[in-house]
């Protein structure tokens, strides 16, 4: 009888099965935005950092332009048990854009202009460093403007024969003054009509590290601190900064990770 009681005790003390999983949607690709959902008692870790969770259990994260190979999401239950979900990314091929006719002072700026650009980049970095608990990114995404797609994410840029950084946005060509509308609801965290490289620049916060950026604007119709609704008229397309013609350069970031707006549209439209 004693032996039987010991066996039963050992059986009851055995580890419980890890029951939690994560529901994922989005682009498992370089530049991809992904949204996951777990229960209230599960923590999610990505690149060794815990992802903040909405009250409904959603987390958001993204992959950079050059991220490839196996990436891990670590799930931790309330009792301390863990499991790992693997996401495998295949490398993407990016086009090469040769752009001629760019104002030469924006390709090879003088020291004063370089200093100005650095100070402006710091302001943009600080704006993207803000975090909020907004959940606008959970709503379906819409295009911010109408026009011809003239540039894509990830492409290698060569300005006036000089190689420069890759392009991190989706370019939409349209006449100066054409409307730009908010693709998600959000809050304005940066607004400047005249940055050296990007000209008129606007950044919206959509929550949990997700922001969207609009550059080369002719005119801004909102200001820092203002709340905007999805589809609201926020700016006008222009040809300011380092450009050869009027267009909107639309970008999406998760923190400081630059994501592909076209992939976000494909998976969350």
Selection from 142, 120, 266, 149 nearest residue 206 by Cα: 142
DSSP code of 238?
B
Q: What is the pLDDT of residue 130?
A: 87
CB 92 within 8 A of CB 100: no
User: DSSP 3-state assignment of 142?
Assistant: coil
Task: Spell out the per-residue pLDDT of the chain, length 269, in tens.
Answer: 333 323 222 233 334 444 568 999 999 999 999 999 999 899 999 998 999 999 999 999 999 999 999 999 999 999 999 999 999 999 999 977 766 666 666 667 788 988 999 999 999 999 999 899 999 999 999 999 999 999 999 988 676 666 677 899 999 999 999 999 999 999 999 999 999 999 999 999 999 999 999 999 999 999 999 999 999 999 999 999 988 899 999 999 999 999 999 999 999 98
Q: What is the pLDDT of residues 246-266, one digit of tens each?
A: 999 999 999 999 999 999 999
User: DSSP 3-state assignment of 15?
Assistant: coil
- Alpha carbons 209 and 48: distance in angstroms, whole number: 16
pTM for the full predicted model: 0.87
CATH class of 2-89: mainly beta
Regarding beta strands 199-207 and 186-195, do their DSSP bridges make them parallel or antiparallel, or are they unpaired?
A: antiparallel
Q: What is the pLDDT of residue 10?
A: 28
Q: What is the pLDDT of residue 165?
A: 78
Q: What is the pLDDT of residue 13?
A: 33
CATH topology of domain 96-268: Glucose Permease (Domain IIA) (2.70.70)
Q: Burial, 45: exposed, middle or buried (Cβ in 10 Å; 0-12, 13-18, 19+)?
A: middle
CB 37 within 8 A of CB 23: yes
Query: Residue ranges per domain, the chain?
Result: 2-89, 96-268
Selection from 243, 174, 181 nearest residue 212 by Cα: 181
User: DSSP 3-state assignment of 129?
Assistant: coil
């Amino acid at each position: 009888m004693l032996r039987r009681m010991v066996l039963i005790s050992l059986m009851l003390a055995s580890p419980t099965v890890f029951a939690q999983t994560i529901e994922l949607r989005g682009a498992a690709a370089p530049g991809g935005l992904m949204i996951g959902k777990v229960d209230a008692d599960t923590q999610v870790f990505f690149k060794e950092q815990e992802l903040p969770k909405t009250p409904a259990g959603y987390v958001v994260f993204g992959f950079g332009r050059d991220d490839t190979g196996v990436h891990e999401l670590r799930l931790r239950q309330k009792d301390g048990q863990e499991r790992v979900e693997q996401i495998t990314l295949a490398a993407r091929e990016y086009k090469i854009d040769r752009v001629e006719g760019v104002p030469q002072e924006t390709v090879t700026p003088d020291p004063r202009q370089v200093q100005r650009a650095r100070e402006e980049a710091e302001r943009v970095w600080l704006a993207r460093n803000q975090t909020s608990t907004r959940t606008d990114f959970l709503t379906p995404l819409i295009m911010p403007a109408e026009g011809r797609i003239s540039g894509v994410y990830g492409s290698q840029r060569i300005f006036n024969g000089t190689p420069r950084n890759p392009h991190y946005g989706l370019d939409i060509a349209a006449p100066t003054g054409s409307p730009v509308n908010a693709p998600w609801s959000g809050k304005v965290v940066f607004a400047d009509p005249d940055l050296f490289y990007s000209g008129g620049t606007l950044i919206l916060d959509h929550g949990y590290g997700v922001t969207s950026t609009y550059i080369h604007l002719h005119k801004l119709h909102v200001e820092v601190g203002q709340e905007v609704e999805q589809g609201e008229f926020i700016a006008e397309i222009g040809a300011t900064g380092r450009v050869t013609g009027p267009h909107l350069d639309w970008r999406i970031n998760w923190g400081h990770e630059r994501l592909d707006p076209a992939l976000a549209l494909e998976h969350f439209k």
